[in-house]
Amino acid sequence: MRPIIDAHLDLAWNAMYFNRDLLRPISEIRAAETGMTDELARGRNTVCFPELRRADVPVCIATLMARSGPDKLNTVPAKRVDLDYTEQRMAYAHAQGQLAYYRLLEREGHLRIIKTRGELTAHWAAWQKNSAATPLGIILSAEGADPILRPEQVEAWWKDGLRAVGPVHYGRSQYAAGTSTEGPLTAAGVALLKEFHRVGMVLDVTHFSDQSFAQAMEIYHGPTIASHHNCRALVSGQRQLTDEQIRILIQRDAVIGTAFDAWMLYPGWKRGETDPKLVKIADAANHIDHICQLAGTTKHCAIGSDLDGGFGTEQTPGDLNTIHDLHKLEEILATRGYKATDIDGIFFGNWLNFFTKWLPQ
């Protein structure tokens, strides 16, 4: 079983919004949510700390997530009470609360916040030597930049340990247009990317609108990823990357993490209606194949599962019960002719190489 680096897990948000103790086994969390009907994902979660260890995940990119874009300011009630805040200071405060959750788990020995390439190298070696005695390693990312109150605050977040940022999520943020919207970067968004470049922040293009993506690629020339993004050529919709966007990312030496959210894998998916059994882990492999064909190499493909992004097994491939089942992808890729070294890269090597290069010393 290969180790996995997963480039997108919403651990803190998932724990705090669903009020879940992620240190408990999957079976206990699901049992505790029996009968709950507030969310389709109740009793169906696929990620927790014991399951991450069982799946041999030494490192993941763990998010901070809170939104307060212009469509949400002074809007009562908020569209999403779990994510949307009518005042940007509250988005900042909630993201800081999620950071406090990670810091508490770090003090208790459950995880390690990785800030430098030296820390990543040491952590990886420790896990390889004795995984049972090594905590989960996380690299902090922000999914949506609204918790950054102004571009000048980027450096303060950097000092807090933040190492990657996607400027927007769904809708519009203070900085860009995102999924389900169209439009360019705002003036503050342009300034934000310049600050990213100055401090060395990794830009995550996931969720950009097409226009914001194009503008960002003109302005920003630092380390770039698409942490959890699939291919529009296979499943239509603005949430996915076009072939042209994929080629641009390849030219930037970016890494693209394949997501296992079923609606990004199955054309015409309808939340709460489409049967997950219609989707297979092999469908995710199709997106990996497509990127590899465009690139002529496997070096730009990886995993960004998003498996705790507000959904559970009601919205994952039918043959995926927990994050451990990502390992089924190994045999699928091998059957399709991928070499062992290429599968290593997709499972962990490409992310490991990227962050070893771009994290500060």
DSSP state of 166: E
Given a contact cutoff of 8 angstroms between Cβ atoms, the answer to whether 358 and 254 are in contact is: no
Taking only the tens place, the pLDDT of each residue in 266-315 is 999 999 999 999 999 999 999 999 999 999 999 999 999 999 999 999 99
Q: For residue 76, what pLDDT band results from cuts at 50, 70 and 90?
A: very low
Taking only the tens place, the pLDDT of each residue in 103-130 is 999 999 999 999 999 999 999 999 999 9
Please give the pLDDT value at position 44.
Answer: 97
Q: For residue 82, what pLDDT band results from cuts at 50, 70 and 90?
A: confident
Where would I find the H helices in the chain? 11-18, 26-32, 49-54, 88-107, 117-129, 154-159, 187-199, 210-219, 243-251, 281-295, 328-335, 340-344, 350-358
- pTM recorded for the entire structure: 0.97
Task: Give residue 287's domain range.
Answer: 5-358
Please give the pLDDT value at position 10.
Answer: 98
Taking only the tens place, the pLDDT of each residue in 316-349 is 999 999 999 999 999 999 999 999 999 999 999 9
Computed over every residue of the chain, the mean pLDDT equals 96
Burial class (CB in 10 A: 0-12, 13-18, 19+), 151: buried
Q: Are strands 255-258 and 136-143 parallel, antiparallel or unpaired?
A: unpaired
Please give the pLDDT value at position 186.
Answer: 98
CATH assignment of the domain containing 171 = 3.20.20.140
Amino acid at 199: V
Count of domains in the chain? 1
Taking only the tens place, the pLDDT of each residue in 31-46 is 999 999 999 999 999 9
Given a contact cutoff of 8 angstroms between Cβ atoms, the answer to whether 188 and 150 are in contact is: yes
Q: For residue 192, what pLDDT band results from cuts at 50, 70 and 90?
A: very high
